[in-house]
Structure 1
Amino acid sequence: MLILDRFEGNTAVIENGDEFIKTDRKNISDNAVEGDVLTESNGFYTADKDSTKKRKEEILKLQNSLWG
């Protein structure tokens, strides 16, 4: 799963499991924000808002089961 970790100037850092991918910020869709799940096609990364929502819901469920 590709996750937009952060922006460092004009560079986007993408988490892919145990590794990180750095790419130019112009290769990321304009609507992508840190924490979004991304899909990749021909070196361009697009935010997958549905998958991002599901991922955040799963994280909240896990947090609630641990602390809630």
Structure 2
Amino acid sequence: MSPSNSLHYPTDAAGKPEALVLPIADWLELKDYYRQLQGRELVLRGMREALREVPEILAGRQPEITLTDFLAAS
């Protein structure tokens, strides 16, 4: 990202910052980073859900899903 001096903070009449203006390259970098975080969150959420299902499967309250079936459903 660019140095912090490339950021601009428009202010209201009292001098309170109202917005942040940053170079488009920085914005695109932040968007890309956010997309990566979203992807990681989806993977982690799926893993958490899968781990919660294990006791149910072991207790026989939920059917097992084979890797072949899992991959076929994807």
Report the structure number with the largest CA radius of gyration.
2
Q: TM-score range by the shorter chain?
A: 0.3 to 0.5
Q: Give the structure with the larger strand fraction.
A: 1
